[in-house]
Structure 1
């Protein structure tokens, strides 16, 4: 087992997939301007935040509603509320198994919401096919979520 360190995880000259579970693989990031927090959806580490003036990410959650994250991906921050919307592409397959998820038509992805006030993560939509990117409308009235396996975009109001 590797220890997460600059020497192991600096990303220079060590582009090795076997290090991803140790070093992480951020697939979605978003910055909340008001509090200067950087939120991260990491395929291996879960849902994380880097606080202002900090250099290390802290894990917020590794699952929601009793279901562990397998492949956190897209992420967007509502600049009006500080709530974070992100996706878990599958509750069955990890990043290293993504081709199998696509081949089997896996539809266990979810759209999730981190409530900045309660600090709770809840599932807003489930049954998504390869839930990917998220985007919040400018007035916060809806969230778009892409499903890369189903080749569509869903709107959550």
Structure 2
């Protein structure tokens, strides 16, 4: 039995044939589509390394079945920049050293983008930390991540996003 799922990933249509309904969105993104920026961390939805946006909302792609997102707008870390211009959150992470080893960084960035879309840019540092609590950094780069979030918030507010 073969199932076909149509996904719109980073504004590009993709049709994937699945052997059954069990493959996760994460595995389809990485193994079938070749978008390896989204990371497999704990594979249990506890670390946030696999965070992507589905219809603009944050989703742990390791817990989401690909077939359940038929027709959804999926954005991965590879789809944030516009040409050579980084998304304001990406730029803020780079300029504020919001990473150490970099493994969790794509999930952190995607979660931050979703956070600002969901909650706006009028948040204090404590609110941002709470809303990002589902994304873990094993290296402990939280000081840089917090600085990057504050900087990104300002950039997005100035841009009107």
- Which TM-score applies when normalising by structure 2? 0.29
Pick the structure with more helix per residue. 2
Pick the structure with more strand per residue. 1
- Which TM-score applies when normalising by structure 1? 0.29
